[in-house]
Structure 1
Amino acid sequence: MTSASLPVIRRVFAALVALLGAVLMLPVAAQAQDTNIAARLLVEGPVAKGGETRIAIEFSPKSAEWHGYWSNPGDAGLGMQVEWHLPAGVTIADFHYPPPKTLLIGGLMNHVFEGDYAVVAPLRVAPDAAVDGPFELTGKAFYLACTDKICVPQEARLRAVVGLGQGKDNPRFAAFQSALAAPLDQPARFAVEGDSLRIAIPLPASLDVGTPHVFVGTRELVRYAAPQRFARAGDVLVAQIPLAEGAAMPASLSGIVRLSDGTGLQFEGAPGTVPTGGEPIRMGSDLPPWWALLGAALLGGLILNIMPCVFPILSLKALSLAKAGGSEASARKDALAYTAGVVLACLALGGLLLVLRASGEAVGWAFQLQEPGVVVALFLLAVALTANFLGAFEIPGMAITGGGASGRGSFATGLLAAFVATPCTGPFMAAALGAALVLPWPLALGLFAALGLGIALPFLLVGFVPAIRQRLPRPGKWMVTFRRWMALPMGLTALALGWLLWRTGGTMFLVVCVGAAASVLGLLAVLLAPAQRQQTRRKPLIAMFAIVAPLLLMQAAGQFNPDASNPSSDMLDSQPFSEAALAQARAANRPVFLYFTADWCLTCKVNESVAIETQASAQALDAADAVVLRGDWTRRDPAITAFLTQQGVAGVPLYLWYAPGASAPQRLPQVLSPRVLQDLATASARPDDNSR
């Protein structure tokens, strides 16, 4: 038995159980039926011959635990059926339903109604109908009433009198109508692609759909419990739903799309072209609880302290730790100020990210490093801090100087630490930051604050736990030597940022930026160096550097040339990522390794040197006939941002392995072991070893 056949077997089993329950309980219902959901027939008002009115069946559960079913009940349950006894020439059309809700029990998806609800249908009287006055409608409604544990078949005798001619309408029908799924005035289009049904539903781009769900009216067409994927393509909402096993292409399609606010829209569709691409909509229905996401953000921020992308700021943190060896009040003051700086920086970056995405910008986490101006500012800052560590000048009040306690200095250090530390994502951060993009903004900002608290947590503990603080070396002359040694990692950071400037903007861009950095150093040295305190000697130098530095920065903007970027070597002979390239590679039934990287992401670069850009990995991937796709997110790329959002992550790195024939990729950890690609490629190559 294949795993793909299990959903079909479960649906058949559920239907047999429901049918058996109905057969066994019909005699009991005939004797003394327990009405768990009462049904009542209502008429909107009188009708003339040749005219039309509406009827409604109102359902009222006896308690909140009972629910009814939509016309397509899903994997289990039964839809309503009515046997009418009507005068000749009187007809009742199909019922219109409110948008149902999803109820997942034991892996079976049910389409249900909770609480009171009503279904509405048109009633038409032909001009030659066999009625001359008020006439009676009678019928029997057969439906199912269920709780989470039991189902009871229901039978309701329906009766109402319809007036003929003119009269007052029932005011309750206005409420019934407003609760129904409103019909769209344009047809939908659908297509079967691979193992998925794709539906193009015409909805204005200005309409906030939130996290929608599509209820398909055609039975046994889709896998009801499978996750649905959505994307926005202008004024079209594109839904992608996995097909049920053995499902055939229908001639037409109908259904309801339910929006996050509980309203629904009814659509009718025919086969046609469905747009590809678009802006993916991240679904929040399968997100972990918020408290779990909060813990993941906190733990991710804590781990970020030892991730390679944080190494450039370890010098700042090490000196702050050393300073905490002073008085208890001083340590607590530094810890709180540092924590406030880190949390505020994370909140500011997270808030700006949410605002930009809400305005339609395709950005993700670490978006600030996709802007050349920000990289230039960080380069100048790294150069200045390196010179500061070497003793070229002293920055008054900064905690990194090794002086006394300074709330402002620790706060500034926290701001800087978070700004430099947050570009790369580590373990646990991916889920939290991805969820932050779809949660309401107060909850999203809570995750960003937890991330900042995690980054600052070691310093907070040092400041408030004396036992930890007592194990730290006491302040002394050693700090001067230590600070100079810390110029080494900060200098390497400046070199890495210079390399990034060269990679993204070309050689001349880097040269001018280096000149600007030299001018900034000269200005700081004149202003802050102890040997330059004579006013008569300082003023000409200050004026010169104050003029030269801005001029060079303006010149750098003119020298920036993205077309002159220098691509890095690629041992894997990778192809640039695109949705089309991925679909083509998967259609060829070849293994696919898809990875997303950026030149400013140190975690990415470490993984590439250790596990990806190695001779062993290249040989294993080649032996497996694998396709390697590389998404470079160094600069903004809306297609990559959309794909990352679709995968539920907010930044890089991201590593996906598509085995031949697999319906979904395997997500690899964000810190790769040296053999992970070799093992995956070897496993994929084994079935074909004898034929290649």
Structure 2
Amino acid sequence: MTRWLLAALAALLLSPAVKAVDESDLLPIDEAFALTATAPERGRIEFTWKIADGYYLYKHRMGVQAVDGFKTNPLELPAGIAYTDEFFGDVETYRESVTAVQTGAAADGITTLQFRVKYQGCADVGVCYPPHTKTVTVDLPSASATGALDAITGGNRGDVLAGTDPARAAGGLPLPEHQAFRFEAIVDTPERLLLRFTPAPGYYLYRDRTTLQLEANGVQAGEIQWPAATPHRDEHFGDVQVFFEPVDAPLPLVRTATTALPATLRITFQGCQTDGICYPPMTRVVALDLPAGGTAAPVQDEAPRETPPTRAATPLWLALLLALGGGVVLNLMPCVLPVLSLKALTLAQGGPNARRSAVWYTLGVLASFAAVGGIALALRQAGLALGWGFQLQQPGVIAALALVMVAIGLSLSGVVSFGASLAGAGQSLTEKSGPAGDFFTGVLAVVVASPCTAPFMGTALAFAFTSSPAIAILVFLMLGLGLALPFLLIGFVPALAARLPKPGAWMDTLKQVLAFPMYLTAVWLLWVLAKQRGADAIGLVLVGAVLLGLGLWWWEKARWGRLLPRLLAGLVVLAALWPVLAVQRMPTPERAAVAEEGVVAYSAEKLEQLRRDGRVVFVNMTADWCVSCKANERTVLGRQPFRDALEAAGAVYMKGDWTDVDPAITAFLESHGAVGVPLYVVYARNGGEPEVLPTILTQGMVDDALAKAAR
């Protein structure tokens, strides 16, 4: 039936060319014209049709369109068979098989491409198919594989790209790549090469899409010393620096061997025809004879420009001391204060109850620090780059914490009494706090402490993540001990406990007042969740909060009643947890980047380009859940003096958002030995090692760093 309908539709569209046939005479279009697409190179896609016997394709009805990520040149089709068609007139057709070649340039980082392929054909029995469009997906080879092919072929893929010989240039057609872009490597001195690029008239070369590798024993290549380039707006790569004229670029050599020796230079570059095609990356291999001479440099292992700190940089005793101090300072951070305020209710009671509460709270803190640190270490060992605060990049964790804060707030407000559970808020303030409640308060304090980075925690955490697992866990335990230390002192030092106010009626009022920081913390967590998963996630968690309130209220009403109402109330509470699972599975919403005035969004490529241009760059790695980050932005980075300092230094302000998982930002953090945010890095105008600023900023500190970088 399908074949009959297809034949009937073709008859309506192309009636002059159609004859009466039986439906069994016509193949489905995918069998008549079997299409496959492959990419032997990143800049060359081949579309091949295997055409069944008795069928043919029209050349003029074939076309290819890239969906995205690929800058295309005109489609290359071989000559067809001349044919006078009843409907189209004089045309060219293909039988048996045909391959169309689409050349161009794939964007960096792209591994697959999609193309919309259009074609139309007929059967010899007298039926023509309607025009057909098919979307195909093509896997691209890596850039290294393309470079290897260049080395094998001698860099002469331009003949394939242009599809003709150099004589075609007279008609304005693209030149082969070895004629469009000539390259020479000249030995200038024993310690310097001269790289000569000669684009043909009407062609230009990208400055920042050039990489090279020098193969020689005892010789390393420095950085290419480019002359001034021409700014150019490119439809594929955006604002770039290019060369329209021949250019000589010195390449310094660092020698540890001063004898004469052979060398091989492998260089890859890319360019385009002005208002024409863009060539794939081209690799040239040049054999050189380096003369004797030069100054021997001391032999050392090649190291990356930015080396993260190692264990040798910080002694163990200092890392433990800094961890202890960082944990103590965490008690003053705003993200921890709402949870710690609950302990005031227990500590105010004094006596043995306070000592027991302090011990159980400390155990909860230590166990949680060890668990969070152990998970982070295990995931990093498995190849996942995660830092301090990684749990708050998970929407499910954010949603669960928001509901916990709501539950604690309802308890403090008197809606429900948890007895000896949760944070130890019982039915009356004169009852003893249970071990489970104190332990849970310690757990909660550690989880919400992630957004805050104390001034001393950065070095200690960096030390932990570069040490053995046993030493790393010891560092995490010292952080926990520091966080719990004030409560241990109050619980076990009578003189300190005696300074606390005596229990009384005021505690009931304090209990109710402390509910509001919990509600505000829940609001803040929902705001973070909105940044991660959008408004739909907020709606789900708010529904969960309402169900949680209903279930806890119902449970409290049925506390001393029949079993069935308590079971139903428990089911309502369990239903309130469903949004936690739902938001964790929600995809990250597609949202347009919000452009801040005077702020450049972080990308490794843009940062490298700015450094090559000799610009001062201030990089701010932040996250919406990072309270320390927001405090710095409000007190320093968001104020006019900071903008004035940027302008005086001619600096670019670059910001990276780590609110959600972002491998590029994680890699940047790791390259500077940071294990979380905030991270502030200042790059100087004249290159050299960047300066990493402390996690707590002052305006004077920022002014000094920018002024130093601008010299």
Asked if these proteins are the same fold (TM beyond 0.5), I'd say yes
The answer to whether the 8 Å contact 1:504/1:562 transfers is: yes
Q: Residue by residue, what CA displacement relative to the aligned partner does 1:590-620 show, whole Å, maximum 9, x if unpaired?
A: 2111011111111111111111122332243
Does residue 504 (structure 1) correspond to residue 532 (structure 2)? The answer is yes
Equivalent residue, structure 2, for 1:475: 503
* Higher mean C-alpha deviation, range 517-526 or range 505-514: 517-526
Does residue 352 (structure 1) correspond to residue 382 (structure 2)? The answer is no
The answer to whether the 8 Å contact 2:320/2:460 transfers is: yes
Structure 1's 434 and 680: CA in aligned 2 closer, same or farther, altered over 3 A?
A: closer
The answer to whether the 8 Å contact 2:311/2:463 transfers is: no
* Counterpart-to-counterpart distance in 2, 1:469 and 1:200: 68
Equivalent residue, structure 1, for 2:409: 386
* Counterpart-to-counterpart distance in 2, 1:444 and 1:496: 31
Unaligned 5+ segments in structure 1 are: 1-190, 203-215, 223-245, 255-267, 688-692
Which residue type is aligned with residue 610 of structure 1?
T
Tell me by how many angstroms 1:485 deviates.
1.1
* Counterpart-to-counterpart distance in 1, 2:592 and 2:498: 50
2:342 to 316, 320, 329: 316
* Counterpart-to-counterpart distance in 2, 1:379 and 1:566: 27
* Counterpart-to-counterpart distance in 2, 1:318 and 1:287: 40
Which residue type is aligned with residue 444 of structure 2?
L
Q: Residue by residue, what CA displacement relative to the aligned partner does 1:107-133 show, whole Å, maximum 9, x if unpaired?
A: xxxxxxxxxxxxxxxxxxxxxxxxxxx
Does residue 304 (structure 1) correspond to residue 330 (structure 2)? The answer is yes
The answer to whether the 8 Å contact 1:611/1:675 transfers is: no
* Counterpart-to-counterpart distance in 2, 1:220 and 1:549: 63
Q: Residue by residue, what CA displacement relative to the aligned partner does 1:191-223 show, whole Å, maximum 9, x if unpaired?
A: 999xxxx99999xxxxxxxxxxxxx9849999x
Which residue type is aligned with residue 248 of structure 1?
L
Equivalent residue, structure 2, for 1:377: 400
* Counterpart-to-counterpart distance in 2, 1:458 and 1:562: 40
Tell me by how many angstroms 1:283 deviates.
5.4
Match of 1:443, SS?
helix
Which residue type is aligned with residue 470 of structure 2?
P
2:491 to 455, 458, 463: 463
Match of 2:682, SS?
strand
Tell me by how many angstroms 1:520 deviates.
1.4
Q: Residue by residue, what CA displacement relative to the aligned partner does 1:505-560 show, whole Å, maximum 9, x if unpaired?
A: 1112101111011111211222235x7643278358526625742555555456x3
2:649 to 624, 632, 640: 624
The answer to whether the 8 Å contact 1:570/1:613 transfers is: no
Does residue 367 (structure 1) correspond to residue 394 (structure 2)? The answer is no
Equivalent residue, structure 1, for 2:360: 337
The aligned length equals: 438
Structure 1's 272 and 551: CA in aligned 2 closer, same or farther, altered over 3 A?
A: same
Structure 1's 293 and 679: CA in aligned 2 closer, same or farther, altered over 3 A?
A: closer
Q: Residue by residue, what CA displacement relative to the aligned partner does 1:668-690 show, whole Å, maximum 9, x if unpaired?
A: 221112454455556667x7xxx
Q: Residue by residue, what CA displacement relative to the aligned partner does 1:414-438 show, whole Å, maximum 9, x if unpaired?
A: 1111111133321111111011111
Equivalent residue, structure 1, for 2:68: none
The answer to whether the 8 Å contact 1:387/1:393 transfers is: yes
Structure 1's 646 and 543: CA in aligned 2 closer, same or farther, altered over 3 A?
A: closer
2:698 to 665, 673, 678: 673
Tell me by how many angstroms 1:270 deviates.
5.7
TM-score, normalization: structure 2?
Answer: 0.56
Match of 2:519, SS?
helix
Match of 1:309, SS?
coil
* Counterpart-to-counterpart distance in 1, 2:456 and 2:542: 37
Does residue 570 (structure 1) correspond to residue 593 (structure 2)? The answer is no
Match of 1:386, SS?
helix
Match of 2:313, SS?
coil
TM-score, normalization: structure 1?
Answer: 0.57
* Higher mean C-alpha deviation, range 347-356 or range 633-642: 633-642
Structure 1's 359 and 252: CA in aligned 2 closer, same or farther, altered over 3 A?
A: farther
Equivalent residue, structure 1, for 2:183: none
Which residue type is aligned with residue 637 of structure 2?
I
Equivalent residue, structure 2, for 1:660: 685
Tell me by how many angstroms 1:493 deviates.
0.7
* Higher mean C-alpha deviation, range 299-308 or range 581-590: 581-590
Q: Residue by residue, what CA displacement relative to the aligned partner does 1:212-267 show, whole Å, maximum 9, x if unpaired?
A: xxxx9849999xxxxxxxxxxxxxxxxxxxxxxx973449899xxxxxxxxxxxxx
* Counterpart-to-counterpart distance in 2, 1:425 and 1:269: 50
Structure 1's 588 and 472: CA in aligned 2 closer, same or farther, altered over 3 A?
A: same
* Higher mean C-alpha deviation, range 368-377 or range 482-491: 482-491
Equivalent residue, structure 1, for 2:464: 436
The answer to whether the 8 Å contact 2:412/2:514 transfers is: yes
Equivalent residue, structure 2, for 1:423: 451
Does residue 639 (structure 1) correspond to residue 664 (structure 2)? The answer is yes
* Counterpart-to-counterpart distance in 2, 1:495 and 1:372: 14
Match of 1:575, SS?
strand
Does residue 522 (structure 1) correspond to residue 550 (structure 2)? The answer is yes
Equivalent residue, structure 1, for 2:565: 538
The answer to whether the 8 Å contact 1:658/1:666 transfers is: yes
* Counterpart-to-counterpart distance in 2, 1:360 and 1:420: 26
* Counterpart-to-counterpart distance in 1, 2:574 and 2:363: 35
Equivalent residue, structure 2, for 1:42: none
1:578-617 alignment runs, 5 A limit: 578-617=603-642
Match of 1:308, SS?
coil
Q: Residue by residue, what CA displacement relative to the aligned partner does 1:305-328 show, whole Å, maximum 9, x if unpaired?
A: 1123323323233334324x2x2x
The answer to whether the 8 Å contact 1:357/1:363 transfers is: yes
Structure 1's 577 and 670: CA in aligned 2 closer, same or farther, altered over 3 A?
A: same
The answer to whether the 8 Å contact 2:326/2:454 transfers is: yes
Match of 1:622, SS?
helix
The answer to whether the 8 Å contact 1:394/1:528 transfers is: yes
Which residue type is aligned with residue 358 of structure 1?
Q
Which residue type is aligned with residue 368 of structure 1?
Q
Match of 1:393, SS?
coil
Which residue type is aligned with residue 347 of structure 2?
L
Q: Residue by residue, what CA displacement relative to the aligned partner does 1:27-47 show, whole Å, maximum 9, x if unpaired?
A: xxxxxxxxxxxxxxxxxxxxx
Q: Residue by residue, what CA displacement relative to the aligned partner does 1:327-363 show, whole Å, maximum 9, x if unpaired?
A: 2x32221111111110110000000111000001111
Structure 1's 635 and 552: CA in aligned 2 closer, same or farther, altered over 3 A?
A: closer
Does residue 290 (structure 1) correspond to residue 316 (structure 2)? The answer is yes
Which residue type is aligned with residue 569 of structure 2?
I
Match of 2:467, SS?
coil
1:649 to 663, 674, 682: 674
1:50-69 alignment runs, 5 A limit: none
Structure 1's 414 and 546: CA in aligned 2 closer, same or farther, altered over 3 A?
A: closer
The answer to whether the 8 Å contact 2:358/2:491 transfers is: yes
* Counterpart-to-counterpart distance in 2, 1:550 and 1:312: 22
The answer to whether the 8 Å contact 2:620/2:656 transfers is: yes
1:64-463 alignment runs, 5 A limit: 218=218, 248-250=253-255, 271-272=265-266, 282=308, 284=310, 286-323=312-349, 325=350, 327=351, 329-398=352-421, 399-401=423-425, 402=429, 403-463=431-491
Equivalent residue, structure 1, for 2:135: none
Equivalent residue, structure 2, for 1:16: none
User: Taking every aligned residue pair, what percent have the same amino acid on both sides?
Assistant: 37
* Counterpart-to-counterpart distance in 2, 1:342 and 1:362: 24
Structure 1's 461 and 357: CA in aligned 2 closer, same or farther, altered over 3 A?
A: same
Structure 1's 306 and 539: CA in aligned 2 closer, same or farther, altered over 3 A?
A: closer
* Counterpart-to-counterpart distance in 2, 1:285 and 1:554: 39
Equivalent residue, structure 1, for 2:206: none
